[in-house]
Structure 1
Amino acid sequence: MELPLLLAGPILRRVERKRFVAWLATSQRCDLKLTLSPSQAPEQSYHLRAGEAGLNAIQAGKHLHFLLLDVPLDEELPSDTWVAYQLALGTGGEGAAHWRDLGELAPDLCYDGHSLPGFRLSGRVHSVLHGSCRKPHHGAGDGLVRADQLLAQWLADSDAGSDANSKDSTHSDWPAALMLSGDQIYADDVAGPLLRRIHHLIPLLGLPDEPLAGAGDEVKAGSAEALYQHPDCYYRRDRLLPQTRRNRGLAQVLFRGAEKPVFTTANARNHLITLAEMLVMYLLVWSPTLWRCGTCGMPKGLDQEEQDLYRKQDDAVEGFAEGLAAVQRLFAHIPVAMIFDDHDVTDDWNLTRGWEESAYGHPFSSRVIGNALLAYLLCQGWGNSPDAFPAELMQRVANTLKLPGGEEHDNLLVDLLRFDHWHYVWNLNPPLVVADCRTHRWRSESSADKPSGLMDWEALTDLQHDLKGLPAVLLVSSAPIFGVKLIEVIQRVFTYVGLPLMVDAENWMSHRGAASAILNIFRHSRTPGHFVILSGDVHYSFVYDVELRGRLRGPDIYQICSSGLANSFPERLLATLDHLNRWLYSPRSPLNWLTRRRSMRVIPRKPEGTPHGRRLLNGAGIGLVELDDEGVPTRICQYLADGGVVEFTRREHESRWR
């Protein structure tokens, strides 16, 4: 069948007054024409040829091309003004004889009353959207669809000239960015119907076969094609993934002699493995286009339990797909910043030194992790900071995509696993500083089973350098820096008995060195006066105001966690943990008095409208933070996928030293 020309995108990425960066995927090699039309400035037009300055093109398959526009602009774009843009895609070889614009390629891309997509660049950040953890088969709605509704309502109000500051307005200013702080895909937890569709699309896109080094005798011939035909391809991939006998401490007593999986996710039965699977996954979670390319029946060989699960997941996945036109529209209208967390690669990624030794010590598991990181580079990291990826590296990526599975592929993945520029800064006002909390781990030297610090000394030093002299900052840490105390204590107990992987013991305070270093950064004399920390990861939302005390008063810190976009925490368990946390660590509790850090005052904010006393919000949605001119939050809320809105209000009398 003939594939549509535009497979995914356009996604606005690092858009600045003198720079326009956007990402898209196409089925053919294309030239582009870009026209920017600010409402109060002259129009700018650019003709971009694939492979030349301004248009980076990488072919991943016969019918799959990734394009990154990175255009230095002739004239500065105005701030706080609507900028409409047009993209036309030209095919037909030299001279691009056939041109098609976005109105033809994606007719649902524009909001009502507008014939072109557009965006606004904020002179000062007064609003930002943020979220994490988007699992397609979760079945509880999609926070990105809710975000699209917010932009549609705001634009309609703006066009109508309504008071943007009225109580009924969605928010007071067009968001400066959408921050996706992790788990944009779940490479380690894929619904059977979604994996089935991925395999249906791989040959249509003409993605090459990939030899799988170290896959073992279970996958005959050790190739991607053999994997796709294997009887354990669906719901039994955990049988194909490598195992290890490495156990230590009390865990060795509990699991003596038993083989343990390298991939520790509880849902590894459909773990993505090949590079082709990873790349197609991104196309399917960001765009509706490829969902229209034929139907996929249930694979053969499933037992009754697997068939029932497949049907249940199929309903959830189809519901997810229905919202993708809205997601595509959202991404075309707001700069999108991204950073990985574990599920973008695999659960517990780099959690302990022992995990790293097991995972990277096996060629098959190392390939799986590296493939996920390579797919992240192409689909997420590239647009965050294009300057971080030199032409030589991207040429190696292009060579690998032409002939995956060979020595060049493996050498590239080794270098990507050592790559140290996934973090970045966007020069907003205040700046958006995005930390890499996955590949710069502070590994424990005393025990391979102790959790690694989320950032090592060198990375924290670089972070301090980025923060020096700023009056305010939007700091992104995938995992909350200041988390729920009871949950952190539970993680500490499991770590003590040698089972940190069982409870995802990933919090800043689990590693003494990293915890001390990040607190010292906050206390530095030249640190920003206002920190807004945007986090996700934990599948529930909360807000803490944090004050650090010492010889001099520290900065004002606002820990804001929005999670998940399409995920949630087990409701009864979260309610129990929330209740126990408030009871055991209330300001009047002896336990809180004995364990507190006297130099840290934490003030939890209440999510209004939730059951009495709750401080942790459970429900899929998107977070919104509004800021004043000093970078101080004036409104923090969660827009739920079911249509509700929850505001977080400060409760001064509940503050406690911890």
Structure 2
Amino acid sequence: MNYQSGDEFLQDMPLILAGPILKHVEPESVTVWVALKLPCQVELKVYDTTNDGTVIGNSLLEGRRSTVALGKSLHVVAVTARLTQRECLSSDRIYAYDLQFTQQTSQTQQTLQQALLSNRFASVNISYFAHQKPTFVLSPLHLEDLRIVHGSCRKPHGHGFDALPILDCLIEETANQPRLRPHQLFLTGDQIYGDDVAEPLLWASTMLGDALLSWEEQLPVVQKQATDVAYYKPKQLPPGYRAEVVTHQAGFTAGLDNKHAKVASHLLSLGEYYASYLLTWSPMCWPAAFPKGREIAGTGKPSRQWNRQVRTMQQFIHTLWKVRRALANIPVYNIFDDHDVSDDWNLNQAWCLRVLGRPLGQRSVQNALLAYAVFQAWGNTPHQFAAGTSGEKLLAAAQDWSASQGMDTAAYDAIARYLGMPPTNPHTGLPEFVKDGSVFILKRHPEALTWHYTVQSHCHEVIVLDTRTWRGYPVDKKTTAPPMLLCPQAFERQVFLPLQQASRMQTTLLIAPTNLFGLQVIDWIHHWQLERDQVFSTDVGDAWNINLGALAQFLTILFEQRHQVVVLSGDIHYSSAVRMSYATTDPNSRTKSVLIQLTASALKNEETITRILHTRLKDWLLPEKVRHWIGWSHPPNMVERKARLFRRQPQPRIKPDWVCALEWVPRQNTHLPDFGANLPWLLTPQEKAKNYKWRWLQRLMFWKSPRFQDGREVVGFNNLALVQFELTANASYKVIQDLYWFSSWYPTQIVYSRFQSELVHNESLWK
């Protein structure tokens, strides 16, 4: 299949290009997202089931909505079904849903099964039952029955096998058991990569985007001379040759410090960002075959690199059917991190001035954020896209922009307004900032959408933070200074008000795309690079504990409202669990609190350094030790005190308001789940032959042995996390994070490592 022959390509495709993806689910409403090749009215029905989900019952919720035309052949909708009777959906029951599609031009109707099939895809399975309808369960009444899955950082050409298909195994194993089946999935950042894109993926994204939109975007560049070009079309910037334009015309920082390979195939156009989502979530839009390296890159190293990346893409595509089925059968919630746009997105004020002050940089960020709004945010918060809202106006502007083939400036300005893009100062050409207390924040229109949100059930609440677009940049420091990840008004709106307004649940979970705490060696590196003003090479400023004042404010607000908090995070390409014990110092009102941070990263982006951290070598050479801080609430600040010198250090002049200590939860020995041994679905024929060829050598490599690989602090291979809670004998809860990954000693085997900790303050850390 060749994307350039658009009509032939579309004829081979089913009506559904990607999805269905189950999104926001409540007892009164259910939202499903889907991408189609034709404009349709989509009807959603939710059914009761009996006999452990095997028999379809009565229709309980219904809804319909028309698709939004993002391109001539790309039509997207997040349709919400609501109650048709008084009885709400309840916990401990399995529900099914179905979709029906009525084409707007011919009025032809198709069922979900018909819309999934085509000549090229004669068989598609998105259900775990014989009735072939997707199913789901609501969160349970009791915390000890809750199952939450989370993960982050899924780069298609990243090293190792994709871990997201493991979710399909988890659901399949427990599909007919509502208390054991996973209840929610949180993807906590980097669902796609705008930077660091494989050349075959950019080739596919450019071709697919142009075919679906049926027009080519004019990407603006700065004309240094009158004879310079003013615009580039995506095809004029081929894979592997974008580094110069991306770094110097768009201003993106991922290519600085001699890292041009990271931006040589950077996404830029709206069609490319749209296409990346389709290619990441569905096997339908991928070409049947890729061109050979010599056809694209000639001979030598570029040709070999292309062929190598094609093999990686083919392995990624091979298991996408399991990803698609899983996403159709569990409520999916997303939040962006930097790579959904580009590396270092809004890292500091210098990045904002550099990128948003250039036409191409501004256009690319807006394209990425519009794609995020339609493909992710719409399903997270469907109420923001209801009739008369900013979301509905954004969708209308997106339609007008595409219908004008990227020429309607009023539609472009409206998109910027509703996305919250900062206006450009007409005199300087730079983005505008406003003051918020002691920091600058990017200016935005009052009608702009918000990306943070809260999900609640009977037993838990999940507060999802936006730590990218509400950053506070210090007024009195250099533009490269680490920001507050949440500015003062963002603390109020995203943390304080949701905690204050929500009723007290059995537990509170926060989604923080960037870590509160990481490995100490990483902190040392960040502080060292900050002193040298080399902040873009390792994202200095993205970790909460680089700006201790902002972290102190976060902890103060958090523990004033809750005494037990679980933070789910990603970003850093390794997984771990840490526990912070916090106590106020006032003898008359001494309170004790605990925070447990569970990190799950990466779904597909393991690196050499994370593989080393994964092993016992890290424990032996550089083990993590208990860390202590003292802190103040007014003004917020905290100071680390070394454990060895804790008693000998001079006492501060002003008595601290609180103290806290951080400990790493040890990783237990690796176990094999019931579904982990036999994986006929995993390998392509080429990978099977390669694996068989080198299997005998695996046993001779001591560093791949289970004993050496059983480190005690992190999981550094591609992984997926399952979080659950257990009621202990003393009536407190224990939080458990099982991290599923592909073993190194037998690569086609899924294993899991367990981290567990009680949700109680640890007094022994001060003894």
Paired residues of 1:236 and 1:270 also in contact (CA < 8 A): yes
Query: Residue 143 in 1 paired to residue 163 in 2?
Result: yes
Q: Which residue does 1:102 correspond to in 2?
A: 113
The 8 Å contact of residues 139 and 319 in structure 1, kept in 2 or not, is answered as no
Distance 1:85 1:265, change over 3 A: farther
The question of whether the paired residues in 2 share the 8 Å contact of 1:33 and 1:46 is answered with no
Greater shift, 372-381 or 100-109, is seen at: 100-109
Give the distance between the partners of 2:235 and 2:327, measured in 1 at CA.
32
1:452 counterpart residue number: 483
Question: Given the superposition, is the C-alpha separation of residues 649 and 532 from structure 1 closer, same or farther in structure 2, using an over 3 Å criterion?
Answer: closer
Q: Distance in 1 between matches of 2:608 and 2:766?
A: 29
Q: Which has the higher contact order (CA 8 A, sep 6+)?
A: 1
CA distance in 2, matches of 1:637, 1:179: 15
- Taking the aligned partners of 2:574 and 2:511, their CA distance within structure 1 comes to 17
Question: 1:590/1:511 Cα in 2 relative to 1: closer, same or farther (>3 Å)?
Answer: closer
**Corresponding residue of 2:208:** 201
How far apart are the structure 1 equivalents of 2:483 and 2:299?
Answer: 40
Q: Is contact 1:62-1:207 (8 Å) kept?
A: yes
CA distance in 2, matches of 1:92, 1:523: 53
**Amino acid aligned to 2:274:** L
Q: Which moved more, 1:421-430 or 1:592-601?
A: 592-601
Residue 102 of structure 1 and its aligned partner are, at CA, apart by 2.5
CA-CA distance at 1:130 after TM superposition? 0.2
What is the CA-CA distance between 1:111 and the residue it aligns to? 1.6
Distance 1:35 1:430 in 2: 27
Residue correspondence of structure 1 range 221-240 to structure 2 within 5 A = 222-223=230-231, 226-230=233-237, 233-240=238-245
Indicate how the Cα distance of structure 1 residues 260 and 529 shifts in structure 2: closer, same or farther if over 3 A, else same: closer
- Structure 2 equivalent of residue 422 of structure 1: 451
Deviates more, 1:359-368 or 1:623-632: 623-632
Kindly indicate whether the alpha-carbon contact (under 8 Å) linking 1:64 and 1:206 is maintained by their aligned counterparts in 2: yes
> Cα gap change, 1:350/1:631 in structure 2, threshold over 3 Å: closer, same or farther?
farther
1:43 aligns with 2:58: yes
Q: In the superposition, relative to structure 1, how do residues 277 and 217 fare at CA in structure 2: closer, same or farther (>3 Å)?
A: farther
Distance in 1, matches of 2:59 and 2:22, equals 17
Task: Tell me how far apart the structure 2 counterparts of residues 640 and 348 of structure 1 sit (CA, whole Å).
Answer: 28
1:523 paired to 2:584: no
Mapped pair 1:267 → 2:262: yes
Question: How much has 1:198 moved relative to structure 2?
Answer: 1.8
Partner deviation per Cα, 1:170-194 (whole Å, 9 max, x = no partner):
xx62222100000000111111111
Partner SS, residue 372 of structure 1: helix
1:249-264 aligned within 5 A: none
Counterpart contact for 1:241–1:262, Cα < 8 Å = no
Q: Secondary structure of the equivalent of 2:401?
A: helix
Residue correspondence of structure 1 range 598-613 to structure 2 within 5 A: 599-609=659-669, 611=708
In the alignment, the residues of structure 1 paired with residue 62 and residue 642 of structure 2 have an alpha-carbon distance, to the nearest angstrom, of 66
Alpha-carbon distance in 2 for matches of 1:68, 1:645: 34
In structure 1, the residue matched to 2:686 is none
* C-alpha distance in 2 between matches for 1:268 and 1:632: 46
1:95-122 deviations in whole A, cap 9, x for unaligned? x233233366253111254522111112
Q: What corresponds to 2:468 in structure 1?
A: 438
Q: Considering only aligned residues, what root-mean-square deviation do their CA atoms show, in Å?
A: 3.3
Task: List per-residue Cα deviations over 1:596-642 (Å, max 9, x = no partner).
Answer: 99811223112223746631210112101002479944421101145
Does residue 77 (structure 1) correspond to residue 89 (structure 2)? The answer is yes
CA distance in 2, matches of 1:85, 1:482: 40
Q: Which sits farther off after the overlay, 534-543 or 491-500?
A: 491-500
Q: What is aligned with 1:512?
A: 548
List alignment gaps of at least 5 residues for structure 1. 49-53, 159-163, 165-171, 247-257
Residue 461 (structure 1) aligns with: 492
Greater radius of gyration (CA)? 2
Alignment match, 2:425: none
Deviations 1:42-96 (A, max 9, x none): 6227776xxxxx41521111111011102222232232201111212222636x2
User: Structure 2-normalised TM-score?
Assistant: 0.75
The whole-number CA distance in structure 1 between the counterparts of 2:254 and 2:67 is 44
Separation in 2, partners of 1:481, 1:431:
19
Q: 1:484 to 1:91 in 2, by over 3 A?
A: same
**Letter matched to residue 128 of structure 2:** Y
Secondary structure of the structure 2 residue equivalent to 1:488: helix
Q: 1:583 to 1:619 in 2, by over 3 A?
A: closer
| Alpha carbons of structure 1 residues 8 and 262: separation in structure 2 relative to 1, 3 Å | farther
SS of the residue aligned with 1:549?
A: strand
1:334 matches 2:321: no
The residue that corresponds to 1:277 in the other structure is 272
- What per-residue deviation string (whole Å, max 9, x for no partner) do you get for residues 224-266 of structure 1? 5x33134xx22121111242899xxxxxxxxxxx998599886
Q: Select the residue among 319, 342, 347 that pairs with 1:351.
A: 347
Residues 340-383 of structure 1 deviation map (CA, whole Å, 9 limit, x = unaligned): 00000000111111111111111111111111111101101111
Partners of 1:211 and 1:404 within 8 A in 2: no
Letter in 1 for 2:15: L
- Cα-to-partner distance string for 1:421-461 (whole Å, 9 max, x where unaligned): 10001122311110001011121221111121211111111
Summarize deviations over 1:128-171 as a string: whole Å, max 9, x none: 00000001011411121011111111126x4xxxxx9xxxxxxx
Residues 303 and 405 (structure 1), Cα distance of their counterparts in 2 relative to 1, 3 Å cut: farther
Task: Report SS of the residue matched to 1:86.
Answer: strand
Amino acid aligned to 2:24: R
Aligned pair in 2 of structure 1 residues 607, 222: CA closer, same or farther (>3 Å)? farther
Which of 524, 528, 545 aligns to 2:579? It is 545
Q: Which amino acid aligns with 1:514?
A: A
Structure 1 segment 16-31 matched on structure 2, within 5 A: 16-31=26-41
For residues 593 and 647 of structure 1, the distance between their equivalents in structure 2, rounded to whole angstroms, comes to 30
Q: For 1:111, what is the secondary structure of its paired residue?
A: coil
Separation (CA, whole Å) in 2 of partners of 1:590 and 1:431:
33
- Number of the residue aligned with 1:317: 313
Alignment partner of 1:43: what SS? strand
Q: Which residue of 2 aligns with 1:646?
A: 753
> Structure 1 residues 99, 316: CA separation in 2 closer, same or farther (over 3 Å shift)?
same
Distance (whole Å) between structure 2 residues aligned to residue 655 and residue 322 of structure 1 = 50
1:287 to 282, 285, 296: 282
The question of 1:567 aligning with 2:605 is answered yes
CA distance in 1 between counterparts of 2:34 and 2:110 reads 16
The verdict on how the C-alpha distance between 1:18 and 1:337 changes in structure 2, with shifts beyond 3 A counting, is same
Q: Deviation per CA, 1:259-316, whole angstroms, max 9, x where unpaired?
A: 9859988601110000000001100000011125665454535562211111111111
Question: For residues 539 and 171 of structure 2, what CA distance do their matches in structure 1 show?
Answer: 35
1:243 aligns with 2:248: yes
Cα 1:583–1:60 shift into 2, 3 Å:
closer
Contact in 1 for aligned 2:583/2:660 (Cα 8 Å): yes
Is the 8 Å Cα contact of residues 122 and 176 (structure 1) preserved in structure 2? yes
Cα distance in structure 2, aligned partners of 1:590 and 1:514: 18
> Is 1:533 matched up with 2:567?
yes
Does the 8 Å CA contact 1:83/1:120 hold for their aligned counterparts? yes
Q: What amino acid maps onto 1:639 in structure 2?
A: Y
Number of residues of Structure 1 aligned to a counterpart in Structure 2 = 622
Cα distance in 2, alignment partners of residues 488 and 464 from structure 1: 28
Higher mean displacement: 578-587 or 438-447? 578-587
Distance 1:410 1:304, change over 3 A: farther
Partner of 1:470: 504
Counterpart for residue 111 of structure 1: 128
CA–CA distance in structure 2, aligned partners of residues 183 and 557 of structure 1: 24
Q: Which AA in structure 1 matches 2:544?
A: W
Distance 1:278 1:359, change over 3 A: same
- Shift of the 454–152 alpha-carbon distance from structure 1 to 2, 3 Å rule, reads same
